[in-house]
């Protein structure tokens, strides 16, 4: 779920490519770097992936969901824009299924998987953890967030989202990357810089040879990456980690860099965009704190956070993002919470 983001050409965010490549086609971003777009069956209906030419083969950055449609598109891309050369490496920015979904499929064809340790461990764990119905911890988390009773009852007997539904099996073995590492890809040296908040240990790649940055979901234009808290770590503060990461990237950012994001269009104007990403959440926290002059559950905080009605298809992402903002305010000592008899937390500001 996205906090409303500032956008536009006039304020310094620039889009050199005015439209994405068509399905099965590729746009050359820079010599030896192809941009492809894959469909997603979600409100954010696409993911960007990139293929970098290593001479005797390709390195692919992120993969899209696993599924017949995406596999068919990749088969067409391999025969067409990738000219029949093999994919020898898959570099995954972070563990979310739209980015790691087909990594195992490429591995089965001989590619090496390169990612951060946390991304591999989480993806490997989740793809093996298939659930027919939500677990007790998830139900308790939803209840604590104030999910509507009728919706909670319905979801309790429905099959939840499972990694295994859209992520190919991941075999044992990968190559780890970490903060400060250098990778040679597509005739360039790339410095690995790690961000947190949207996903733990999210890798971004900064070219040491030209002004290119592969940003994944850590560096997006026009929308904000989802910052969510889940039943796996209900007291986490990913928003604090996100804000710290944005601040850490600021000394590295240059207005002339071309950022290749995981969604939307490649863009320039990264210094301004980092300021916007910080300011968007700071403003949302202020609106939320004002809203909590009276006690509310997380589920009752959507309007001040997102400034619009939340559709059913967005409800789950909105709920985890609301909890993330509330947890951040709690850690900062700006709100308190008290559990209602029905198991829902009521949050209230201290001002």
Closest residue by Cα to residue 176 from 238, 245, 124, 239? 124
Q: Over the stretch 150-185, which tens digit does the pLDDT of each residue have?
A: 999 999 999 999 999 999 999 999 999 999 999 999
Q: Residue 283, Cβ neighbours under 10 Å: how many?
A: 14
pLDDT tens-digit profile of 243-299?
Answer: 999 999 999 999 999 999 999 999 999 999 999 999 999 999 999 999 999 999 999
Question: Which class is 27-133+162-283 in CATH?
Answer: alpha beta
pLDDT-derived band at 3 (thresholds 50, 70, 90) equals very low
**pLDDT surpassing 50 at residue 10:** no
Q: Which of 283, 270, 281 is nearest to 12 (CA)?
A: 270
Cα–Cα distance, 223 to 306 (Å, whole number): 12
Which candidate, 299, 335, 291, places its Cα nearest to that of 319? Answer: 299
Q: What pTM value is reported for the model?
A: 0.94
User: In the predicted model, what is the mean pLDDT of the chain?
Assistant: 95
* Cα–Cα distance, 85 to 242 (Å, whole number): 38
User: CA distances (Å), 232 to each of 116, 188, 228, 253, in order?
Assistant: 19, 38, 11, 33
Helix residue ranges, H only, the chain: 68-79, 97-100, 103-108, 117-127, 136-144, 149-155, 163-166, 238-249, 270-291, 302-306, 315-331
- The CA distance from 24 to 51, in Å, is 13
Any idea which residue has 């829902």 for tokens? 344
Tell me the per-residue pLDDT of 85-98, one tens digit each, with 9 for 90 and over. 999 999 999 999 99
**What count of other Cβ atoms lies within 10 Å of the Cβ of residue 90?**
26
pLDDT score recorded for residue 11? 55
- Domain locations along the chain: 27-133+162-283
The first and second tokens of residue 47, run together, are 């993911």
The answer on pLDDT for 220 being more than 50 is yes
When pLDDT is cut at 50, 70 and 90, the band that residue 120 belongs to is very high
Indicate whether 9 pLDDT > 60.
no
């Amino acid at each position: 779920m996205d906090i409303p983001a500032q956008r536009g050409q006039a304020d310094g965010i620039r889009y050199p490519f005015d439209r994405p490549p068509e399905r099965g086609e590729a746009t050359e971003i820079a010599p030896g770097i192809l941009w492809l777009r894959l469909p997603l069956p979600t409100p954010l209906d696409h993911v960007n992936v990139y293929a970098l030419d290593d001479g005797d083969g390709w390195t692919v950055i992120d993969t899209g969901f696993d599924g017949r449609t995406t596999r068919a598109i990749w088969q067409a891309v391999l025969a067409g824009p990738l000219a029949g050369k093999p994919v020898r490496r898959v570099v995954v920015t972070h563990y979310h299924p739209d980015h790691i979904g087909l990594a195992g499929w490429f591995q089965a064809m001989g590619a090496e998987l390169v990612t951060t340790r946390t991304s591999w461990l989480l993806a490997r764990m989740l793809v093996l953890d298939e659930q027919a119905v939500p677990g007790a911890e998830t139900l308790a988390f939803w209840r604590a967030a104030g999910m509507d009773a009728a919706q909670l009852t319905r979801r309790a007997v429905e099959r939840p989202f499972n990694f295994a539904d859209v992520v190919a099996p991941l075999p044992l073995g990968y190559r780890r990357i970490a903060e400060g590492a250098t990778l040679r890809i597509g005739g360039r040296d790339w410095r690995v810089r790690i961000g947190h908040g949207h996903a733990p240990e999210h890798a971004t790649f900064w070219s040491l040879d030209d002004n290119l940055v592969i940003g994944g979901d850590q560096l997006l234009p026009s929308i904000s990456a989802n910052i969510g808290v889940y039943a796996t770590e209900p007291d986490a503060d990913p928003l604090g980690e996100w804000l710290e990461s944005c601040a850490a990237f600021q000394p590295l950012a240059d207005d002339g860099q071309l950022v290749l994001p995981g969604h939307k269009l490649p863009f320039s104007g990264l210094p301004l965009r980092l300021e916007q990403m910080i300011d968007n959440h700071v403003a949302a926290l202020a609106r939320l704190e004002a809203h909590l002059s009276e006690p509310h559950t997380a589920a009752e905080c959507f309007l001040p956070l997102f400034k619009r009605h939340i559709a059913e298809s967005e409800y789950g992402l909105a709920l985890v993002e609301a909890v993330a903002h509330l947890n951040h305010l709690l850690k900062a000592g700006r709100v308190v919470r008290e559990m209602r008899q029905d198991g829902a937390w009521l949050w209230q500001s201290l001002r």
